């Protein structure tokens, strides 16, 4: 059998709206949880007269086993649908999600946004919708969860659906193309099997929606870009930077340059999961041995590219940003830390060129605040590789963090070298 196409999936949404329960449910329905574990907890639940709640027991059981240090992680976060092979990227905490999305260590090909039918969209629903869209998760599925708890009421579903649709539209998504599915992670409705409890719903199940996703584009035709996550020295081998190939193809004997450190070397070998690769393509997380470069010549935050088409070190750049969570207002002169691929560099906002508030253009451009979209000019305080998102999608996205939180997110549209 030909190997199924791989997809990275992230499950996001407001705290308590059912991310982990839905993850567990998906893995269970896909047959990805060890049947022994399920049987064990099913039996326990039955013995205690809680047979119908066995799923909750399984979930709690998994959590307990995890807390005891039993490794159920990696193996159990992969599952197959008819068409694809999915890895569920962990988004345990809100902050980790933001960080992982930006560094690209876990760039998601698709996201399931969970939203409780009881509560409708909440603060983190909004933030996750905005971030997922800005940070380039192209395909989104919305699961309106906890339908069992609202007695499968269509009006409740519609209310939550409209709320999430509004958020998706605000950041430019075409909601006609996004599936909204009434589910119960707890009871399994419309996850793999179409539910009889929602006769008013004629759309796909969650599994069908997953199979309807399209294969992510691999930008192999573009110049190579590998943001460096770490650099190791391995005895007998030499300097081994580690990173994810974002665009292009890396092959042994290629001459590469690391910017902004400006060090050049030759790729000697490429490894992924301790196996040598003849070449690395976008999506591959690799360690590659480079000759002619010492560990101290390069660092995390550098980007490797071909010497004849090197990554761009920006003097200044233009960006479109969305202010998400700033306690006051953003004005010219503000210099927060920008998280771009694996780099973290303080950058100054030098101009607010135009802005929109609640969909209307602003005439007063002296400040922007939460909810605003703006075009700004930015000047890094240290050399930084950033490139227009239209040319190098993962290298043009960033989050702006300050005071321990993500205050804004954005994409680079133009670069001044
Ligand atoms: P997370 O914080 O988004 O990961 O949410 P959890 O998966 O931990 O769920 C939060 C709470 O909601 C837990 O008590 C779950 O049992 C409950 N829950 C999750 N999904 C459902 C559902 O489909 N129906 C009902 N009734 N409760 C649910």
Query: Which of 288, 279, 214, 290 shows the shortest CA–CA distance to 248?
Result: 279
Q: Which atom of ligand 1 is nearest to the CA of 145?
A: 23
Rounding to the nearest 10 degrees, give the CA dihedral for residues 127, 130, 136, 138: 110
DSSP string, 55-71: HHHHHHHHHHHHHTT--
Closest atom of ligand 1 to 149 CA is 26
Q: Distance from the CA of 16 to the center of ligand 1, in angstroms? A: 6
Nearest CA to ligand 1 atom 25: 146
Q: Using a CB cutoff of 8 Å and minimum separation of 24, what contacts does 68-73 make? A: 72/34, 72/37
Tell which atom from ligand 1 comes closest to the C-alpha of 15.
2
| Nearest-CA residue for atom 17 of ligand 1 | 18
Nearest CA residue ID for atom 27, ligand 1: 146
- What's the CA gap between 82 and 137, in Å, rounded? 22
- Ligand 1 mean position, distance from CA 120 (Å): 14
From ligand 1's centre to the CA of 71, what distance in Å? 23
Provide the phi-psi class of 14: left if phi over 0, else alpha when psi is between -120 and 50, else beta: beta
pTM for the whole structure: 0.72
317, 349 contact by CB (below 8 A) = no
Instruction: Give the Å distance between the CA of 1 and the centre of ligand 1.
Output: 37
12 Cα–ligand 1 center, Å? 13
pLDDT tens for each residue of the chain, 417 residues long: 457 888 888 888 888 898 888 988 898 888 877 767 777 777 776 776 655 555 665 666 666 655 554 433 333 478 899 999 998 876 555 555 665 555 554 567 899 999 999 999 998 888 788 778 776 787 999 999 999 999 999 999 999 999 999 999 877 788 999 999 999 998 899 999 999 999 999 999 999 999 999 987 788 999 999 999 999 998 888 999 999 899 999 999 999 999 999 999 999 999 987 889 999 998 888 999 999 999 999 999 999 999 999 999 999 999 988 888 899 999 999 999 999 999 999 999 999 999 988 767 899 999 999 878 899 999 999 999 999 988 887 898 888 989 888 888 888 999 998
Residue 408 CA to residue 405 CA, distance in Å, equals 9
Contact 92, 23 (CB under 8 A): no
Cα of 398 from ligand 1 centre, angstroms = 31
Which of 17, 19, 21, 124 has the most ligand 1 atoms within 8 A of CB, as the residue to mutate? 21
User: What ipTM does this complex have?
Assistant: 0.99
Residue identifier of the C-alpha nearest atom 10 of ligand 1: 16
Ligand 1 site-directed mutation target among 18, 145, 151, most atoms within 8 Å of CB: 18
Which residues contact ligand 1 via a Cβ below 6 A? 13, 15-21, 56, 145-146, 148-149, 184-186
Nearest protein CA to atom 14 of ligand 1, as residue: 16
């Amino acid at each position: 059998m030909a190997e199924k196409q791989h997809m990275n999936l992230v499950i996001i949404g407001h705290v308590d709206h059912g991310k982990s329960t839905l993850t567990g449910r998906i893995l269970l329905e896909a047959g990805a949880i060890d049947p022994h574990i399920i049987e064990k907890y099913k039996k326990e639940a039955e013995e205690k007269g809680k047979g119908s709640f066995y799923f909750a027991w399984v979930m709690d059981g998994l959590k307990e086993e995890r807390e005891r240090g039993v490794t159920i992680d990696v193996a159990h976060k992969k599952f197959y649908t008819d068409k694809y092979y999915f890895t569920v990227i962990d988004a345990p905490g809100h902050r980790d999600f933001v960080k992982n999305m930006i560094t690209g260590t876990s760039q998601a090909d698709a996201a399931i946004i969970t939203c409780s039918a009881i509560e409708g969209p909440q603060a983190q629903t909004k933030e996750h919708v905005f971030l997922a869209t800005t940070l380039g998760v192209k395909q989104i599925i919305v699961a309106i969860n906890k339908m069992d708890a609202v007695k499968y009421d269509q009006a409740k579903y519609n209310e939550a659906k409209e709320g999430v649709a509004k958020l998706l539209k605000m950041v430019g998504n075409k909601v006609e193309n996004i599936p909204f599915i009434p589910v119960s992670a707890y009871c399994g409705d419309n996850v793999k099997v179409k539910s009889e409890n929602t006769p008013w719903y004629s759309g796909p199940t969650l599994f069908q929606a997953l199979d309807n996703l399209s294969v992510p584009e691999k930008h192999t035709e573009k110049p190579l870009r590998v943001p460096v996550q770490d650099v190791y020295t391995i005895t007998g081998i030499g300097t081994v930077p580690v990173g994810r190939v974002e665009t292009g193809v890396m092959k042994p004997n290629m001459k590469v340059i690391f910017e902004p450190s400006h060090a050049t070397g030759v790729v000697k070998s490429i490894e992924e999961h301790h196996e040598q690769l003849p070449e690395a393509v976008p999506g591959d997380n690799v360690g590659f041995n480079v000759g002619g470069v010492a560990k101290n010549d390069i660092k995390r935050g550098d980007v490797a590219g071909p010497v004849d088409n090197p990554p761009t070190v920006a003097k200044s750049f233009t960006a479109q940003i969305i202010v998400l969570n700033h306690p006051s207002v953003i004005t010219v002169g503000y210099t927060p830390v920008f998280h771009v691929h694996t780099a973290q560099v303080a950058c100054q906002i030098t101009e607010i060129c135009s802005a929109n508030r609640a969909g209307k253009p602003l005439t007063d451009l002296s400040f922007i605040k939460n909810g605003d979209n703006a075009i700004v000019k930015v000047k890094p305080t240290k050399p930084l590789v950033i490139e227009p998102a239209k040319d190098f999608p993962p290298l043009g996205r960033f989050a702006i963090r300050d005071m321990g939180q993500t205050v804004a997110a954005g994409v680079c549209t133009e670069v001044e070298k």
